[in-house]
Structure 1
């Protein structure tokens, strides 16, 4: 339910009164008649003025009746007291006509007041656009009623109307008009002005603001509704599908560690970097700024996607996201509360076979390998018809065999709960505005076992002052605390369902000890509950002060200072666990992380970030329609980071103090720390020119100097320019009067942005590493000498990557603003990408990254919005689609394709001439169906490469180079890449009489995904489960058209069948309903 409350005009009309009457009729008279213990006062003299409300109350007592009415309808009206009447009907009939009211008798002693019906007439008129053309589809409503109509193709309308009143006329893209009516009103002609607010809307750009109508760059803008309408505690989630060209994805469901990644317009480099995030003018280097920000505090979001990002220079390779938080707006204090409760569960997860399914596949694999009398054959009846949760002794004194029918995944995963509570107070006085908010979010996990959660507290105080008419100040204080907890053994815990055959228990027979099976199974419940927890607590404090001084009518001086302090405390407890056999009398395996035995690791991290900038702005309008703006500025950023950790073993259970443990033998593992710092100094500027709002030009530039590069040969500094132009076509005389076309603007831009991802803070300094090992030196009594090795070699001439981006776009508004669209095409070229060049093995040390790579990305994006109204039903639809393709033009040195192992190989590789993160594999050629096909296939590869046990039902591959040998050097081909193609989304919104509904769908048309690892191939063995996807979907004589090859207990055959090929790659496209929201806006009290 929304906090906004509006009273519909005409609440006291017949419909409202009828509703009230229906309620009254359902109650006994004693429930609705006001009783008074006071004596009935004397009636006023006839003709004496008296409040109508008082008179009605007197009559209710006098005539023992109920008179229902809306208080706004009666108000404070005065009437002349009538002479005494014999009946209530007679009294009402004498008084009500004088004040324009009438009554209706609903039943004995029940009356309702309503407005007196007025005579109506047919009112006609015409609605025009500012250019004199008809405005079809405009809404015409009689104010205070539900009576309304729409204009036809000629802009004409007709509706019944009383002699007096008012008409409300509105249409999307135009300013609503109110027209007073009188008895003399004839045929109306109404001109609706253009909604200049939409055109004059201010868009936040780098170090400034511009009117939307004059923006020449590819800039997408979102207001606060984009976040309020999404069920999410994380703004990154709300951005999914909301901006053309912005792809947001996550790779995990771990609360607080979802591994969010977001990319603007495809890849810019092999060195991945997120977009630069700037919150209220303060830059952030990672997406922590977004993930920790309270969505309720966001006012607007601008995404700079082309040359407009060049104003941020060396860190804008993947675009810039500018966020402005809320400020006080209204004179009166406004208190806003928003609450969220959400449930989440596993959508598309891994499903594994049941006990009978597993045995069926295991048995089939053994038969295919000519081993029908395998070890588990004697227990076949138990597998196919499992007894009720039992464990039997293992064969030949091996581990126990369980026959529990419990699904491990159902036990481990369930429904997670998410809570969010936010309270904000905002207001504005004559000189001061304020916005104060506090929030709490608790994001639970779908993992039922152990403690797995992400809890956040945040507070924000935004104050803006205006001491004088020329001086504006803005201050901000923020505080955030985030606590993330998960089991230390999180990864082995998640792998448990697929690591063993189904049927195993959680505890021993007496239920007191964790159960284990051989070396492969440990009770996931014990790992989660007793294995220890990993906890990370982040505390972030921030403050900033900004000022703008209008020194003259044309010059403005601005400056800002900000500081951000972050403290992180990390505690990792890893407990040693003993797992028993089902009888509980013997330990069968143990769990510990490496050499950790009841270990406790404590780490603290601390960072202080400082940012300062100042700028001078000039703006002027010259006679003849010339508008000029210019801005120059400088900024400096500094960040200092330090960390320290200590780790000990043998900490007693329940003790959380490292002083109670024993030091680790290796000093490097027992304690350590780091102290790092970096700085960035910049000079930037912008100049814009507009002629009569028709021809638009902009030039920007930034000169960056970074401490990450050597000062030698001036490689520390780099200039990043950008230019753009716009042409408002509809301001030209030859296009200005085209029917249905309201506005069209053509845009073009070119600019250079930078990237320093992959460059360490001190990579320009040659270092020598002291190693943990030692070397005996000497003959008779050798001394132990610590060894040293050369660190990464240094490339003194390397500098930032520079990505040149070109963009052409078109913005249009059609059909009186009901249809609005934008389309863009772009290209990004990285000509000096940092890559690891391949050198001879005798180089003597790890090679540095150098500027020897080249990459090209091309793409397009489009957005279309339709907004209209049918009677009282308002509706809108927004569709977004984008696509991009990336090609590697140069990667430096070796360009060989390597598939490590024989199964899936390296998942993604960067090869010259192919897309970034490409998949390569063998040429899949179907499944061998007959002995003749098997014999013919073996003859194709006389040189080898096939398993010795190859048989009917196995896979065929093509010999691409015809050399008679199957190998990865010459028989692999391009299969796809991990990039997202055809990202699209759609939003449908409906409004009707206070109700609103929205549906949001987000989708990806193509994303290649490799099936990898043992979970994605039916590796049939006694110590692992099998993906249910393969059940009865593998080849057999009874299933010759199956999708996958035969089952085999031979590891070589299985590895051969599931080599990287078209068989093991899938298009992981999807369409998801991300949000469905139903709301109602309450009328005001």
Structure 2
């Protein structure tokens, strides 16, 4: 089935299930209930599973009520099954539920983070969710810790609309997801700005999820304009946890997991491989018996078929032999301590992560550990000290230390070597137990156990101090905050080399020839990472007042930042920002934001920019005319925004400056010089101008518009949804000019000529209700973002179909395949393809002669497929809650993405006679008797026409994945209170458990054309959470 069709059917099923559940819920509510008094009981807990004492339980419209005891339990007499219970507690969302036929209730109160007056973290502050007029999505800590991932960026996958994620690899310590917000709108760095506790950071990938209180994604101009020159790609705001007044609370979390590759490539054994190899040589017009040193004789092939002599006729599945498919262990531990008094509040967190590698044979090495692993320690201390009635000092001290280890070349390049290694080359060991090899083809075992290893250590330390001043003694609502932060990271990489004897064994003579040579294990390099230091000063004046139904909130911010990295020239940013919010009766809403800041990436006089935005919101449900439908539509809001933001992230700093360089011939002392003459050239010192300066360079600008609709239907948020439609026009994108004539003799200067349009839509919806004693919920989201290049400085005279303009950013380009050549006459009557590599025979790929000149050349390449980044992301998460048991399942998918299967990942024999494997698809090659084959004719030639970039080898990277499954059991209070606990949970969860896609052998999210990637991992995890 077509994957794109599948994901649309998936959405239809989701909508149908949702409508059926709604209809069922209302049908159940319509059943006539007996009108009789009876006793009910229940237990009330918070979203973390902790019981809540002192909660008010009231029968609506009566004076009948009860209060939950120390274990969160209550008992109550209700007059009728139609009675409605109102459960309320300070700091939590008021909850209403119809009694119905139930006699026992498990009620989970959501704190105000889930209510309409939820506090949403936005730029330089927070707002009530009901009054937010920008496009903001938020995740809570509980959602982040639910996924058993070592890298917190992977916990975002499929959770938030508009957030595009892609995990390029799975090596421990290097498994962070690439994150884009609403797709890609630039040719330069499109990554969002990361802000942690108000301070800009490079990444949040190595934070411990247990430290995080909330994560907000700011998507439109209204939300990000205050960041001005850094706001065009969106912003991710992370707020870490803080202590609250009360007794000390201790939370201990432990996880034990097993990692396994999501996809294990399967290749053909030696006999089938060589049969296809023989056919490929024949197709190239070569005599197979004269190739490969007699490997393809009938006698040899029969020996490989029988497999009775593993030394003469080896058949080694190198991937299976080197990679432990049973998996590697992953462990995570965390302890959080929080509490405080009126004078001081504290939050302390300690975390440890240990990710193991999945390679065999590492135990052969006794002098060192060549196994891949990543270990990380996290620490955080957030302290809030009330100095006096008007001043509070907050101090955040955090750090992490990571260690990444592995044999030399343990990254993706090793896996590329594994899939390139033919099964027939040689065995792992020779008959005498020595390590086998052949000339020009080493043994993958030696890379693991005897090549040496690399060990990298990184350290990050952050200190943030904030003095909050309440200036209400001057006027109510006035405040002033001063924040200073220091960020420091440094590290080192140590490399060690090793070697061992390897031998080629000649079965006919019994002779052993030494190839590899034993070398002593020794230290080879200690490279210090350039330390990075960043200081930031932020001053903020805030004013917020309410005058009757009028609410005003405003901020004025000054920010300056300096970053130093090693011996590089320090970089600096400086700017001002202001935001004014106005609301009337929480019904009519408006906001204006202004950013004015600058960057040293540009010449003086062109460093500062002004970035305005405005937004409006209208809470329709607050109107009097909505009272009649209040029970059906308790909340309905429309909002819209428009604004200008910027992006100063380019490929390099100081691109506005001219560049001078040497010719590449150097005299003594390394002086750049020119060579004159050909026989005995003389050299003369000198340099030349390589690129002209362009002091008019400036930042990219993005004009963004957004329209949103938010709604909650029926009581208790039975159904809620949010829909956003957006459009962006990105201009002045910095790129190296492409239309500059080469006759000038200089490299093209960088210009602000790039232009892109990006548009799309996104929605999320949720449904929550119960069937009898079982509560259930369904959550889902869907995002679509498409870009189109408007201007890429295409040279004059370029045909429209070969321009970058008019197509998508990073869209693949190659030859459009029309089918297979069916016979010699078909080849003769078609445009000449031998220009791309021959010979051309029946069964080869037939290309479109786009320009119609009768010959296939680069001029016939066209845009094909999509880019590597998906245009569509979607997710659906159903779950049930019964007593203390909760089960949730997340399906996540992506569509409108392409991946090129070439080289070792796609071509037969890796694309050439030098090495490479073949898989099941290559057996289904074209023959006259198999004209509808899945693969063209086979060839050994590396530069054959079939092995150009083309639409046949460009595959759909669409997929649907069983992303997460979690089974959680919250033990009853009568069990854990006997042990001195205030809460106890145990859970089983897993991530990346199964994937549906059109791609064989590789994970559709991580594969590249050469297979040079450490596989993405499935994780099967058991964990416990204990609270004291």
Q: 2:408 aligned with 1:517, yes or no? A: no
Report matched runs for 1:742-781 at 5 Å.
742-769=634-661, 773-774=666-667, 775=673
Aligned pairs for 1:961-1040 within 5 A: 961-970=851-860, 972-1019=862-909, 1023-1040=914-931
**1:733 pairs with 2:624:** yes
Q: Is the 8 A contact 2:833 2:945 kept in 1?
A: no
SS of equivalent residue, structure 2 residue 923? coil
Q: Which residue is equivalent to 2:454? A: 534
Return closer, same or farther for 1:493/1:909 CA change in 2, 3 Å cut-off. farther
Question: Are residue 443 (structure 1) and residue 371 (structure 2) matched?
Answer: no
Alignment partner of 1:581: what SS?
strand
TM alignment of 1:218-367, pairs within 5 A:
218-258=135-175, 260-284=177-201, 286-287=202-203, 290-307=204-221, 308-367=223-282
Whether the 8 Å contact between 1:168 and 1:179 is mirrored in structure 2 is: no
- Give yes or no for contact 1:682–1:704 (8 Å, CA) kept in 2: yes
Q: Which deviations, in whole Å up to 9, do the C-alpha atoms of 1:365-411 show, x marking residues without a partner?
A: 24444746453213111111212421x3xxxxxxxxx5144443342
Residue 175 (1) aligns with residue 68 (2): no
In the alignment, structure 1 residue 685 sits paired with structure 2 residue 567? no
Shift in Å, 1:621: 1.4
1:938 matched to which residue of 2?
828
Shift of the alpha carbon at 1:1022? 5.8
Q: Residue 484 of structure 1 corresponds to which residue in structure 2?
A: 404
Q: Which moved more, 1:944-953 or 1:418-427?
A: 944-953
Any idea what SS the aligned residue of 2:261 has? coil
Identify if the C-alpha distance between structure 1 residues 732 and 194 changes in structure 2 by more than 3 Å, giving closer, same or farther.
Answer: farther
Matched, 1:496 2:417: yes
TM-score by length of 2: 0.79
- Is residue 852 from structure 1 mapped to residue 750 from structure 2 by the alignment? no
Task: Indicate whether 1:836 and 2:748 are aligned.
Answer: no
What's the CA shift for 1:217? 0.3
Q: 1:693 to 1:1039 in 2, by over 3 A?
A: same
* TM-score normalised over the length of structure 1: 0.75
Cα distance in 1 between the residues matched to 2:110 and 2:409: 65
Q: Within 5 Å, which residues of 2 pair with 1:138-149? A: none
Q: Which runs of 5+ in 1 are unaligned?
A: 1-119, 126-133, 160-165, 181-191, 393-401, 643-673, 899-907
Q: 1:797 aligns with which of 679, 683, 696?
A: 696
Name the CA shift for 1:937/1:998 in 2 (closer, same or farther; >3 Å): same
1:512-547 deviation digits (Å, cap 9, x = unpaired): 65432121x211121122222222211111111112
C-alpha distance in structure 1 between counterparts of 2:938 and 2:77, whole Å:
70
Q: What CA distance in whole angstroms lies between the structure 2 residues aligned with 1:794 and 1:447?
A: 51
Distance change (3 Å), C-alpha of 1:834 and 1:373: same
Distance 1:597 1:444, change over 3 A: closer
Report SS of the residue matched to 1:200: coil
Residue 808 of structure 1 corresponds to which residue in structure 2?
A: 707
Pairing partner for 1:557 from 449, 455, 480: 480
> CA shift at 1:556, angstroms?
0.7
CA distance in 1, matches of 2:971, 2:802: 56
CA change 1:571–1:169 in 2 (3 A) is closer
- Give, in angstroms, the shift of residue 836 of structure 1: 1.0
- The Cα of 1:431 is off from its aligned counterpart by 1.8
The answer to whether the Cα contact below 8 Å between 1:676 and 1:761 also exists between their aligned partners in 2 is: no
Cross-structure match for 1:827 = 727
Indicate the residue corresponding to 2:1012 in structure 1.
none
Q: Residues 823-876 of structure 1, C-alpha deviation per residue, up to 9 Å, x if partnerless? A: 000011111111111222244443332211100100100000111122321111
Q: Are the structure 2 counterparts of residues 425 and 174 from structure 1 closer, same or farther at C-alpha, using a change threshold of 3 Å?
A: closer
Q: Please list every run of 5 or more consecutive structure 2 residues that lacks an aligned counterpart in the other structure.
A: 1-34, 41-58, 100-108, 363-369, 668-672, 978-1028
Aligned to 1:699: 592
The 8 Å contact of residues 279 and 938 in structure 2, kept in 1 or not, is answered as yes
Match of 2:341 among 419, 429, 439: 429
Report the Cα distance in structure 2 between the residues aligned to 1:176 and 1:297, rounded to whole angstroms. Answer: 29
Matches within 5 A, 1:369-518: 369=285, 371=287, 373=289, 375=294, 376-377=296-297, 378-390=299-311, 392=312, 402-414=313-325, 415-448=327-360, 450-490=370-410, 491-505=412-426, 508-509=429-430, 513-518=434-439
Q: Separation in 1 of the partners of 2:445 and 2:776? A: 50
Give the superposition deviation at 1:572: 3.0
In 1, the alpha carbon distance for the partners of 2:956 and 2:76 equals: 51
Q: Tell whether 2:557 aligns with 1:633.
A: yes
2-structure distance, mates of 1:142, 1:331 = 21
Shift of 1:346: 1.6
Q: Deviations over 1:1026-1073 (max 9, x none)?
A: 231424221124433211112234555xx2124333211111111111
Judged with a 3 Å threshold, the aligned counterparts in structure 2 of structure 1 residues 870 and 863 are, in CA distance, closer, same or farther, namely same
Measure the CA separation in 1 of the matches of 2:288 and 2:674: 58
Distance (whole Å) between structure 2 residues aligned to residue 690 and residue 972 of structure 1: 53
C-alpha contact 1:547 1:559 (8 A) present in aligned 2: yes
Aligned to 2:1019: none
Q: What's the C-alpha RMSD, in Å, of the aligned pairs?
A: 3.7
Instruction: Provide the C-alpha distance between the structure 2 equivalents of 1:141 and 1:875, rounded to a whole number of angstroms.
Output: 26
Larger RCO, structures 1/2 (Cα 8 Å, 6+ apart)? 2
Q: Is the 8 A contact 1:534 1:571 kept in 2?
A: yes
The Cα of 1:259 is off from its aligned counterpart by: 5.5
Q: Secondary structure at the match of 1:292?
A: coil
Query: C-alpha displacement at 1:423, in angstroms?
Result: 1.0
Choose 1 or 2 for highest CA Rg.
1
Q: Helix, strand or coil: the match of 2:829?
A: helix
> C-alpha offsets along residues 641-672 of structure 1, whole Å, 9 cap, x if unaligned?
11xxxxxxxxxxxxxxxxxxxxxxxxxxxxxx
Separation (CA, whole Å) in 2 of partners of 1:327 and 1:283: 19
User: Which 10-residue stretch deviates more, 358-367 or 846-855?
Assistant: 358-367
- Closer, same or farther in 2 for the Cα pair 1:582/1:937, shift >3 Å? closer
